[in-house]
Structures are given as structure tokens and as C-alpha cells.
Amino acid sequence: MYNKVYVEITNSCNMNCSFCHGHKRAPRRMTMEEFALILDKLTDQTKYIYYHLMGEPLTHPLLPEFIKMAGARGYKSIITTNGTLLNGRGEELLSAGVHKINISLHSFENRVGDDFERYVCDLAEFAKNAATQGTIVVFRLWNQGFDGGKNDSALHLLKERISGDWVENTRGIRIRDKIYLEWGERFEWPDSDAEIKGTKFSCYGLKDQFGILSDGTVVPCCLDSDGIIHLGNIFEEDINIILNSKRAVDMVEGFRCGVASEDLCKKCGYAQRFV
């Protein structure tokens, strides 16, 4: 069983963040029928559904219904969002039973002044409300070296508005029960036009996770934004056949030996973290 499966319910976003690789695919949203089919086919594959590869999941009008559907089938739903739409839609997600919400605070890199302060303060209030309803909230600052000093400002604003223990660890801060902060360095997305990143390669793709793009394309990890490593289509094929295909098996066996069987993996800066 996989620790997580990324399901891209939409590949459209309401922002254009500097850290995001983006994609070249046509805009698309999953239908209710398509999402239900995916949930059925993922039986015994995972218990955790992550609602993105590309795109902002809160732009999908059916997101609360998707969360309820997943919950009824025994899945736990994890949302990763830029946070800009939580003021209008956050309560819907909490009522639907979302398990965890990751908020990419590094999406504020291009925000300034009052807009930035209001953004952080609104998210602090949402986090407190969500925690009281049993939902985990994780603030992410995955932009060390690119924040222009805004990370310190964000931390100051959060500390003013969220009381807690604020205990630091190697990954970030436990603010209080069900509210956390994670930090990390910005990473290089895999790009077919990039240079090869190393001589040894390792990855959690197809070992810990795999992804499903909005058109049903199955990819090995959450960073294959254009579906270059197309393993199959879950709308058309059995997921077990897809995951046991020669291409998928070659990837897993290769990583076990420190070898990347796919050119895209050789050009992934993030994968070098696991070598």
C-alpha cells in the first residue's frame, strides 16, 4: 500500500507563483464521475488522497463533495493550497471532513504591504478554527533563500495571533496541537530541457507515492507536471496493471540500485535530496 496518492482534480490555479514550474496542458477539471471511479480503483492502494499535482484545488467547485465521497470510502483527504481562497471556502472543507490542510505560505513571495499582512493574519485565524474542529494545519515556508526577509515577518505575524508552545524541531515548529510550521529550501523541478543533476539517483516515486493527472494519466510522482512519464490512464486501465508495467518496474528497480531509468528523473533536483 502506498503512503499517498496525488489526485490532480484541476490543473488550473488562481495564482502564478515564482517557485511553481507550471505545465503546458490544456485546462481541465475532473468530473464527479471521474473522481468516483478513481476512488473505486484506488481501493487497497492507499488511505491518503492528496488533491493536487498542479493547480489550486480550492478552485474546483466540487471539492467539498469530493472530500465527503473520499471519507465515505475510508480515505483521508489532504489539501495543499496557496491559502488565498480559504476565507471563502475554508468552512466548506472543514464541514466536509478534510483531514489536513497544507498552506504554502511561500506563495506570498510576490505580495507586499497590507496585502501580505492580511493574507497571513487571515490564515492564522483559519488555522485556529480548523484545529478546534480536528483538522491538522501545516504552514509551509519552502523558500529559504528566496523570501527576501518575508519569512521572518510571517513568523512574527503568526506568533502574534496563534498562542502555543512553538517548539522547534529539525523540520520546523510545532506551534500547538494540530498546528505546525515546516520550512525547507526551494528545489528545482524536473524539466526535460534541464541538465542532468547527478550520477546517482533515488526517489520515493512508485515506492511511497504516485500521481494521477486531471485527465487520468498516471505518473510516478507529484513533480511530473506535464505527464512526461506516462504510465497509463486510470480511466481506461486497471491500476494494478499500470503500476506493474515494465516501465514502472524498471523505475523502481533502477532507484533501488541508484540508477534513473527515465531521462526526466535524471534532471530532477529534488530527487538528489534522497541520494
Cα–Cα distance measured from residue 161 to residue 4, given in angstroms and rounded to the nearest whole number: 32
Cα–Cα distance measured from residue 43 to residue 22, given in angstroms and rounded to the nearest whole number: 30
Cα–Cα distance measured from residue 141 to residue 155, given in angstroms and rounded to the nearest whole number: 10
pLDDT of residue 170: 84
pLDDT of residue 86: 95
Helix axes 32-41, 63-72, angle to 10 degrees: 30
pLDDT of residue 264: 92
- Dig out the grid coordinates for 66 from the structure: 469530493
CA torsion 82→87→92→96, rounded to 10°?
A: 50
Helix axes 150-161, 113-132, angle to 10 degrees: 40
Q: What is the pTM of this model?
A: 0.93
pLDDT by 10s per residue, the chain, length 275: 999 999 999 999 988 777 777 788 999 999 999 999 999 999 999 999 999 899 999 999 999 999 999 999 999 999 999 999 999 999 999 999 999 999 998 877 665 556 888 999 999 999 999 999 999 999 998 877 666 667 888 899 999 999 999 999 888 999 999 999 998 877 777 778 878 877 888 898 999 999 999 999 999 998 998 999 999 999 999 999 999 999 999 999 999 998 989 999 988 877 677 66
Distance of alpha carbon 44 from its chain centroid, rounded?
A: 21
Cα–Cα distance measured from residue 107 to residue 247, given in angstroms and rounded to the nearest whole number: 35
pLDDT of residue 274: 64
For cell 490512464, the residue is 233
Give the closest residue to 232 by CA, choosing from 211, 252, 250.
211
Phi, psi at residue 270, to the nearest 5°?
-65, -35
pLDDT of residue 174: 97
